[in-house]
Structures are given as C-alpha cells and as structure tokens.
Structure 1
C-alpha cells in the first residue's frame, strides 16, 4: 500500500553502521537536513564522539551500541527509538564489513562472521522495522532502506563471501518487498547498490591477502551514496544504484557472463591489492575504532554521479545511460590495458 513519505526534517531515522563511511556520511547529511537520529554502531567510544558532534550541530540524536548480528540487540535499537522519539520513520540497514582474499584461504569463522553482520544484520533490522512500521496509524508511510552493492548483481574475485552476502541481501529484500505489498503494509522497501566508494571499507575488512586491500576505480565520495539514501527516505523507490559502473557491470554480467568473468578476473584481482603491507586495522570480529568517513586512494574520486543524479530525477535518463556505458568502458579498458 503506497503512502507518501514524510519530509526528512519531520522524520526519525535509524542508521546502523553510523560511525564510518557511508553510514557516517548519511548521518551527517541527515542531521544537516533536520532529521532526528538513532545512530547505531558497535564501538561505544566512537558513538559518544559522534553524538557529541551531532549535539554541536544542533541535531536531536541518541546512540545505541549494538551488534546487528544479534536480534535481541536489534530489538533494543527499536525500543530506544520508541522510548526517545515515539518511534521511527526510516530504518537504514547500512552496517557491513568485507573479507578480502581467496575463498580457499579464509577460515569458516571469518566467513560466518561476515554473514552475521552483512546478511543477518539486514534481516534482523528489516523485520524489526517492518513490524513497527506496518501498524502505523499515520497518513504517511515508512521506509526501510537496505544497503546492497554492485556485487549484489555481479560477484567479484577476492571478495567472494561479501559478494555472496550481498546477493543474499538482494534476494531477501526482493522477497520481503513482495510480501509487504501483498499484506498492504504502508512501507517503502529500497535496495541501494553502490559501486566503489572512498570510505575506510578496505581498511576495516578482514584480510587474508599479503598486502593491504584497496578498491578499484571508478570511486565516488561517500556523500554521493548519502544523497541517494536520503532521497529514498523521502521518495519510494524499488532500488537505487550509485555510480554508472554499478549499472554497467550488472549489464555486462547479464548480457555476456563469460566475458564478464574474464574481465573481472583480469581487472579486479590486481586492482584490489595495494602495494602497501597489511595495516591490521580490521573490523570483522571487533569494532573498528574511531569516527572515519573518508579514506585516501591513489585514484581520483568523483564528487557526483551523472547516472545516480539521473536515477533520482528521471528527466535525466540520457545521462544515466551515458553513465552506465562509461562504467562498462572503464572496466573493459582496464582489462585491455592489462593484456597489453
């Protein structure tokens, strides 16, 4: 049952993974636009620093230290939102971590830990949010926004288990959306699928490579994803890609899967390995420290995505097509240069 969503300044948002990367960029932008915030992460000291920052910005915010892999702790997030603000309007399942290396080199314990956060964390958050939002007696609907990835559609080597988790997130999100629609629940359910984003993501990942992992270009600022997420909090969308490469890679995988295999193998394996020794920060089995939105990379980082701007504003469809084509061209060009 489609209902209009509130304006952002009238909303309370729950944001998991709020102290780092995309979650932090989304939190800061939502605070700037007047939303009330329930910020969630595992590290209490990082949350304290974030809430202090939000207080200085004049934002209404409460922090919850929680591991989204534990359904009881996720229920506590919802109860905090209800106690502090009377409920919530949008729940953003952003918490996630990756695992770099060949699948045959990764302990099962690491692979299961990744799924606890990246898949089960989304399941726990989505179901908790759905139970709350389904019984709202307001003239406005609520929103659940799940963070997928370009690898929700096309797996990449060296992040195989992360790809598997994001595939699972897509399947779960698509199934839950159909069920909520059948039940007439006043909920918009969106899957956001970013490409490579210049966050601390590789530094916080589990790592079984001999070097520090990195991300392949093209790279985008975290604020590009934050804008897309908050757009979906106000405008019901089925899914939203961030970056033309995300669409381009998905299209290539659908139209020419074996060609995509070869291109991904030749381009993605070297481009996910830096020339630096492992830093050992990690964030798989323990909270990553600090409040850290943006990391430095050797490649240029785009401040906007023509494709995503077009996706948010359909009148710009021609730009969206051009962005997807450029994404494929960048990927195939990388593979061609490597062969030569």
Structure 2
C-alpha cells in the first residue's frame, strides 16, 4: 500500500470540491471517497487502487432510509447493507433487495458496507486484482489476461475484446429489477440516473465502469412504489453456501392478474459485465401464462446473446435454470 493523506469531508459540497480538484495538475493523484471501505481498502492493500488522498464521507448526513411522498423509498448512500436489509420499508415491500443484501458477503462486511460503496463495487477478476497480470480495466491498453486464461467466473453477457470481467454485486442486481434511480451531486449540480444507465459496458474503455465524473458523489438511491400485486425474489447460485460471489443469480419482480403476467422485471447477476437487466425475458413474460413453458422461453431469450468463454459455457444453462426456478418460486402461490 502506498502512502496517502486521510481527511474528513465537512459536508457534501466539501467532498465534491476535493473530489473534482483531484484531477487538476496541482493536486496530481486522485482522491477516493471512503465510507465503509470494504472494497477500497482491500484494493489499496493490493496496490490496485493507489489514491494520493482518501476522503472520509462516513459522517455526512446520508445514512437514512425514508418513505417518499409517492409511496417509494429513499436510501441514503451511507446506509449500511445490514441495516438496509433489515429495515421494515425494505424487508416488507422490497423483499428481493433484502434477500440480495443478506446473500452477499459476511455478516461483518454487511455491517460495514454501504449502499453507495456497493454501487461502485469492483470486479473480483483475479487478473484485475493481480498487478503483475495484464488487465485493461486496471491498466488500459495492457490486454485482458482472462480471455485466454482462467475465466470460469467471468461474464458471458456484455463482454468485449477488451474485458470479460463480471460485476460482483448482489444488491445491484436487485436494484436493477426494482427500477432504482441513482441520485448524484457534482460540479454540474444534482442529477438523477436510471440504474441501467448508471453502469457502462466495457467496450474499448473497460476502465470506466460508471457514468460518474470527477467530483461526483452518490447521495442516495430511490425506488418507485412496488408494482400493484407484485411479488419479488432473489435467487443466488454459488460454489459454497456463504461468503461467496454468485456464479449466477436472478432477481425477479412479477405481478399476475387474471391468470396472466401483468408486470415483470428480470435482472441477472454473475453473468454480465454489469448487473444485467434482461428486457428480452421481460418481453417474453408480458401477458404470458405463469407456467414452465413461459419461464423456459423467457430464460432462453435472456441468454440468447451470451458469449461464453473457454471455461464458463456452463453459465448459460445454469443461468437459465436459475431464472426458471426463481420465476417458479415467485409465482407459486399466485
């Protein structure tokens, strides 16, 4: 780990000012915001992240979960994962999010990790985390060692010739299925971004993972009111039962009216270079009868554009089975 300066932001505007200044010639090295630090400190120890300055934002007033006037929920950026998973507004109305959070990491990490930090969680690709190996995400232009190397856990959707690293988050898969909106403050003022637009595909610039700009600070996330009559569920498949990242996962939100699916949201984890919203599956489920044939058709459509690598072709069928089972479970008593 390199030497760095640690300071505490006085308020949101102070954080934005110092974050934006980190990209000027005078400042030199970049600033990183620190809340829970469960990913940042890990990567700093590996010399993957090497900021000259770390700005503590953990004491900013961004740690509340509140109902919104329209019946939705506002989640502050520094809300701890454990607190969010067990909050009545989330546990009761958005069970898919609660389940996803409780499926992630360990109890100790959930007690520290935050909403904003989880949105920015970086890949667990072994080549990204090893500074001796080629990685376009860490060192643009150096190549992607995973393409011809160990790629069992890597992505099969949204990949490019520059990067096949999978997104590791559970929380963000659920937020995709819930049509979450990310709220940001920066040098250009305040703006709101749909979560599907917040994450970027790797293309030829895998080092840029989100649409955040220098100085931008995530302040909160909002969820719309639950769809009428909807039920939701998160299903995670992994190599071991705890403290493990998903090989594949599925977040589903479904409403059934008069024997037909009237609302469907589908997101997949473990298979995409970003949390993967499957509009193909949603289209297949629209007005369909909630039965095995409909679910298999939706799952097939969801993985139709998959580009498996040498060691992860099994993810195509595993993801299809995961999605079918999730849809079966969430509609079982409707």
TM-score of the pair, normalised by structure 2: 0.31
Comparing both structures, which one devotes a greater share of its residues to strand?
2
The higher relative CO (CA closer than 8 Å, separation ≥ 6) is in 1
TM-score of the pair, normalised by structure 1: 0.31
